[in-house]
Chain A
Amino acid sequence: MLAIAGFYIVANIAIGNARDGLRVIGHDAGPQVLATGDLYFALSDMDSQVANVLLTGREHDLGTRQQALNSYNQDRVKADRAAMQAAELSASNPIDQATVRSVLDGLGRYEQLASRAMVLNEQANHPAGPPPGNVIAVYRQATDLMKLELLPQAYNLTLEGGATVREVYAAKRAAVLSSRLWVALTGLAAIAALAGLQFFVALRFRRLVNPALAFATLGLIVVSLGAVRLLSGEAEQLQAAKTGGFDSILTMSRAQAISNSLHADESRFLLDPGRADTYSLAYLDKSQTVLYVPSGNLGEYDTGLNAAMKAYHANPRTVSFLGFYGDEARAHPGPAVTAVLSRFQQFQADDQRIRRLAKSGDTRQATTLLTGRTAGSSSYDFNQYNKAVVALIGLHRGTFDQAIRTGDRELGRSILGNWAALLPLATLGAVILVLVGVRARLKEYR
């Protein structure tokens, strides 16, 4: 009896570990990373689009100001939706929920400042290029609010989700694996105890087989084997979801966030000459975070990037660069990451041209190149680059979802349906059978 109870307790804890792991990684912190990543992207892109609108000034046809406005409005809707989703997912975490609320409050203030900057910009009626000082002053308030309050909160939520997944994965996978051994041992002990009882009854009462006891033993063998198999499968799915999907989703979400913020720095560099140095240096730092090649300034970065890409395209195994894309290209080589790298290189080449034009004093041409929506202009090429990143995230998302689905399905599938229901039923059945078997013999003895 005790042996059967022991098996039941151990198997229950083990399956609980697997279920908790899948829940947090697959349905809680994992999706939270995606939702807050979307939130960051929408917020950061709003600020880029406002900068683009301000830069085009009265030349409405130049670089299609209307398209920037449309993107801004779409981003607002996306930000709201992502924030709602993040709030839902963090229902169990009051601190995270407060953070999401604080982002939404800040977003309201941001929209007010951005509208004011755009109205003042209309009134200023300036040619393409940096707007007058009063517009820049209001835009600075807006962009500082975005950079110092809203974006850090969104990004830190993404990171916190990533940290939770890492911790839960390490703990739960280890627990599932160690408890698998215990399930096997207690299962064996229970089976041995039943076999011993069978032997004892046979010897004592001179019956070859006690049918009830035999059924109980057989049932326990099947359930133990099933439980061990299940736990092995769950550990595998946890690993597939984490290292095959989630790690790259997190890396690429961060790369996407930082890329979008460096794209915004490019616009701000043209828009606000008083802070041009700050924005250039931030652009360099962020470029190196995304894809690191040793370089002291943007010119050297460009040279280093082109050399690294040349080597990579000649042989995709030569990953001579570090940063997010270095990790990704080493972990998951393939056409999807190559597409991202090529688009990134194109975007950086556009940036070099914009900076050369700006340096030569041709801010009008630089603005056209920055805000244009045709191939060869920065906004267009950035969109292409971002699409490649989204495609790569989608690829990893597929692996992740598949692993979580398989893990969930296995937990819900056994001969009798859900494991949570099967386990107590099977244990109870075995206990009853043992009682029945022993009682029949005891009666005879009396």
Chain B
Amino acid sequence: MNRVRATACSRAMAAALLALAISLSACSAAGPPSIVGEQSLRIGVKADQPGLGLRLPDGRFAGFDVDVARYVAAKLGVRPDHITFVPVTSATRETALENGSVDMVFATYSITPERETKVTFGGPYYVAHQDTMVRRDETAIRNVHDLKGKRLCAVAGSNSWKRVTQELNIAATLVPATSYSECVAMLLDRRVDAVSTDDLILAGFAAHEGSAVRIVNAPFSDERYGIGIKQGDLAACEAVNRAVSAMYLDGTAAALLHKWFGQTGLQLDTHVPQFEGCG
């Protein structure tokens, strides 16, 4: 009788110890909510920028940003068929992250100190340079300073026109638009004289429009393409930085850059960029 009780007791004890050992070794750090560990992700991308983020007629998305997003999501443990791409525009990126309608943004999203007050940025995963696109027959615009007095396309929510008229104080006349595809249409229709934004974006449109337009090839800024994450999700920020490091180490970054921009004549940099840092 005593022995039976003793065995039962020791069994219970052993079970308790086992449970204890598990609970002690599992280091589930209690922290703020994070998208790390999610099975599926909604990722914001551009829908109208060839080479970067473009919605195809069949509804799928394609481009450098889309491929980078797929790679990073895979490193976070998300299966390709569990990614939902959501179209965003320059003006909707912050709100989409803030209200949770997307988990991450890969949308030619330059890291700026002002945006950092609202969004946490992983990366940058690439550093582009702002340049200017004009019509083929335009000869008066050779660099950004020649935009003085010219009509410049200004996309809502974009930082590019601010670089020209605010940061460099060049007195161009701003013509509002909602997207760069609209800007290019306006350039061809002679409603604006120039479109000034990142060389990767311009290169994609230039390839699309053929000989009707030309890039002046006078870059004047460093645009660090960040991965937008809801503000404060440090675990996600650190995880995507590790994924971007891996993307450069294993050669995927170089392969993707050549896949999407190899024909553009742009000088492509295949070294991992200096990260912004989380928090």
Contact = CB atoms under 8 A, between A and B. Distances in A.
B251 to A, nearest CB: 15
Interface in B153-200: 162-163, 166-169
Interface residues of A, number: 50
B245 interface: yes
Interface string A273-316: 00101101110110011001010111100000000000000000
A167 to B, nearest CB: 7
Given A3-B13, A159-B241, A170-B31, A297 B24 contact: no
B10 A281 contact: no
Contacts of A298: 167
Interface stretch (A148-156, A232-240, A328-336): A148-156
A156 B245 contact: yes
Given A163-B278, A288-B113, A281 B13 contact: no
Contacts, number: 116
B113 A292 contact: yes
A280 B212 CA distance: 32
Contacts of A182: 20, 23-24
Interface residues of B, number: 47
Interface stretch (B47-55, B59-67, B95-103, B268-276): B268-276
B4 interface: no
A152 B27 contact: no
A171 B29 contact: yes
Contacts of A178: 23-24
Q: Chain A: interface secondary structure?
A: helix
Contacts of A297: 166-169
Nearest to B27: A171
B27 A155 contact: no
A64 to B, nearest CB: 31
22 contacts: A2-B13, A6-B13, A13-B24, A14-B24, A17-B24, A148-B271, A152-B271, A153-B272, A155-B277, A159-B277, A160-B242, A167-B29, A172-B27, A174-B29, A175-B27, A182-B24, A277-B220, A280-B167, A281-B168, A285-B112, A296-B162, A299-B169
Interface of B: 10, 13-14, 16-17, 20-21, 23-25, 27-31, 112-114, 116-117, 129, 144, 162-163, 166-169, 219-222, 234-235, 238, 241-242, 245, 249, 269, 271-275, 277-278
Given A172-B27, A280-B167, A292-B116, 16 more contacts: A2-B10, A10-B24, A152-B273, A159-B241, A159-B275, A167-B238, A170-B31, A174-B28, A182-B20, A182-B23, A278-B221, A280-B168, A281-B163, A281-B220, A282-B221, A297-B168
Minimum-distance CB pairs A-B, first 8: A288-B113, A296-B166, A170-B29, A152-B274, A171-B27, A277-B220, A163-B238, A171-B29
Interface of A: 2-3, 6, 9-10, 13-14, 17, 95, 148-149, 151-153, 155-156, 159-160, 162-163, 166-167, 170-172, 174-175, 178-179, 182, 186, 254, 275, 277-278, 280-282, 284-285, 288-289, 292, 294, 296-299, 322-323
